[in-house]
Amino acid sequence: MSAMSYKGYHARVEFSAEDGVFAGRLAGIGDIITFEGESVTELKAAFEEAVDDYLATCAEIGKAPQKPYSGKVMFRLSPEVHARASVAAELEGVSLNQWAEAALNDAAGKALAG
């Protein structure tokens, strides 16, 4: 599995050995947008075309395209993890929200880079 990015949209990509194609789906939005290609070049072109088509279709029908994420996140944590994270944030001199944002940003950056 791998990920791709274009115009602020991201996609999850997998290889289907059965079909002999790379298949992808936009991540982070409710609308289902898929694409596929037999090579990396075809896959990249199909991904960009899918995003461009999605944006064009939304414009044609007068619908605002979904953009991923509002910035508000609710987590359920064990009390132990909550306590450790709170202490770590306090020791770094930041709020728990600031600490969690930095930790999530670091982890997401590593996941999207590789």
- On whether both 93 and 51 belong to a single domain, the answer is no
Number of domains in the chain: 2
The answer to whether residue 57 is domain-embedded is yes
Cβ-defined contacts of 8-13 (< 8 Å, 24+): 8/67, 8/68, 9/51, 9/54, 9/68, 10/68, 10/112, 11/35, 11/47, 13/43
pTM of whole model > 0.75?
no
- On whether both 57 and 83 belong to a single domain, the answer is no
Residue ranges making up the domain that contains 7: 2-61
Could you read off the pLDDT of 70-114 as tens digits, one per residue?
A: 677 888 999 999 999 999 999 999 999 999 999 999 998 888 776
The answer to whether residue 30 is domain-embedded is yes
Which tokens in the block code for residue 105?
A: 């940003």
The answer to whether residue 68 is domain-embedded is no
The answer to whether residue 74 is domain-embedded is no
Q: In whole angstroms, what is the distance from residue 3 CA to residue 7 CA?
A: 14
The answer to whether residue 26 is domain-embedded is yes
